[in-house]
Structure 1
Amino acid sequence: MNTNLRFAAVLAAATLTVAGCGSSDDNQSVSPDVEAVPMPTVAEDDDAPPTAEAESAPMPTRETAPDEADETDEPDEPELPRSQRGNLIKEIGETAGAYNEHDGPESPWLEFQVTDIEVGGQCTSDYAEASQNGHFLIVSIAASTGSELSESLYGQEVWFDSYEFSVVGADGVTENDVEGNAYMCLASRDEMPRIGPGENATGMVALDVSAESGTLVFKPWFMDGAGWEWEF
């Protein structure tokens, strides 16, 4: 992957990088697919007569092209879309992930999907209280971790707590508080659990917001400077 498309976060001695992964039709994370960009080819016109120049001047080969004998012709990966905040832009159901820079995107230690963002969602806890900021935003998540997580985070778990999310309204203003009464909204059976190495989990995160549309941003503690975001 082009190093200009990566960003790194240093946690202890580990370097972490956001991975841009392909879409998935189900709620389970999948290994990222590396899409090769095909090299352009020259179309041949069978009806066109060959010219004298074409007959006498053969195209240069990779072996005879100057200054390229030792180079490997590798296709560039397409640039991943980023927002003005520097976050990777994701669609609902699209896989996101993180990997160690020295292992590469083929060995992600975290993959996850935001499978739904429900505006005005209903709380499931018997102790839920009314929203302080307007209504609840219920975020559904499916995530999986690899064995590399233990080395990457030195035994730490991955969690999707509400304080790692923020909401930017349609007017471009970031909300000051997304906690409100969200901490009492969901029953424990519905909350997204903390997950360790080699685990799969699904669950929800509740946010107490005023925006009815805008952008959901996720910047977890283990990433430095950038994260992911989804429009709702």
Structure 2
Amino acid sequence: MKKVGELGAAGDSNGDRSFEFTVTEVDTSVKCGNPYARKPEGKLIAIKITAKTTKNVSLDTLGSDEIWFTQDWKAIDKNGETAGWDPDSTDAVYNCEVKPSLMRGVGPSEKITGWVVLDVPDLESVIVWQPGFMVNGGWEWQL
């Protein structure tokens, strides 16, 4: 379990932290500004993320040429039940345009900052990011 502002990192077996990121803010007051978008399944939130990589990041190990923050999320509601939808891919997430989005990935020797919008069951949810390169791991935050 991470707290907002706490560093998350990944690297190789030698301890090289070639990928670091921090959730710097969580906005739970997100409103959809698009009258044509479908309503959220639950509640929209936005997560501000800052990430950086070194030139040594092993993208072969990651299974991609970039690390993406806009996918591989799940949400667990206040009763401990995993949401029955992908919180990173509902119509409201894609069509509400509530924050400057982090729609691109981060590659070697890059630093980026942006927002990821999620559709979570409730404001007491736990959100989990477990990207494909984290076979036995990932990160989670209590809203």
Q: What is the TM-score normalised by the length of structure 2? A: 0.84
Q: Is the 8 A contact 1:150 1:156 kept in 2?
A: no
Relative to structure 1, the CA distance from residue 195 to residue 127 in structure 2 (aligned partners, 3 Å threshold; closer, same or farther) is: farther
Distance change in 2, residues 1:198/1:209 (3 Å): same
Which residue of 149, 164, 167 maps to 2:75? 167
- Deviation string for 1:39-96 (max 9, x for gaps)? xxxxxxxxxxxxxxxxxxxxxxxxxxxxxxxxxxxxxxxxxxxxxxxxxx11101000
- Aligned match of 2:129 in 192, 201, 218? 218
Distance 1:134 1:97, change over 3 A: same
Aligned counterpart for 2:22 among listed residues 97, 113, 122: 113
In structure 2, relative to structure 1, the CA distance for the partners of 1:138 and 1:128 (3 Å cut) is farther
* 1:201 aligned residue: 112
Post-superposition Cα deviations, 1:4-27, rounded to whole Å, max 9, x if no partner, equal: xxxxxxxxxxxxxxxxxxxxxxxx
Amino acid across the alignment from 2:50: A
Q: Measure the CA separation in 2 of the matches of 1:160 and 1:154.
A: 14
Find the aligned partners of 2:7 and 2:36 in 1 and give their Cα distance. Answer: 31
Aligned-pair identity (%): 29
**What's the counterpart of residue 3 of structure 2?**
91
Distance change (3 Å), C-alpha of 1:167 and 1:204: same
Matched pairs, number: 138
Pick which of 130-139 and 141-150 moved more. Answer: 130-139
Match of 1:230 in 2: 141
Counterpart of 1:137 (choices 40, 45, 52) is: 45
- The alignment partner of 1:157 has SS state of coil
Residue 186 of structure 1 deviates from its aligned partner by 2.6
Contact 2:62 2:132 in 1 (8 A): no
Cα distance change, pair 127–221 in 1 and its aligned pair in 2 (3 A): farther
Structure 2 unaligned blocks of 5 or more: none
Cα 1:149–1:185, aligned 2, differ >3 Å: closer, same or farther? farther
Is this contact kept in 2: 1:129–1:184, CA < 8 A? yes
Q: How large is the RMSD of aligned CA atoms in angstroms?
A: 2.2
RCO higher in 1 or 2 (8 Å CA, sep ≥ 6)? 2
Give the structure 2 partner of residue 176 of structure 1.
Answer: 84
1:149 to 57, 62, 68: 57
Q: 2: CA distance between counterparts of 1:144 and 1:128? A: 35
Distance 1:171 1:190, change over 3 A: same
- What is the CA distance between 1:129 and its match in structure 2? 1.6
Counterpart of 1:100 (choices 1, 12, 26) is 12
Query: Deviating runs (4+, > 4 A) in structure 1?
Result: none
Aligned position for 1:191: 101
Say whether the 8 Å CA contact 1:195–1:201 is kept in structure 2: yes
For 2:107 and 2:36, the matched residues in 1 are separated by 28
Aligned AA for 1:185? C
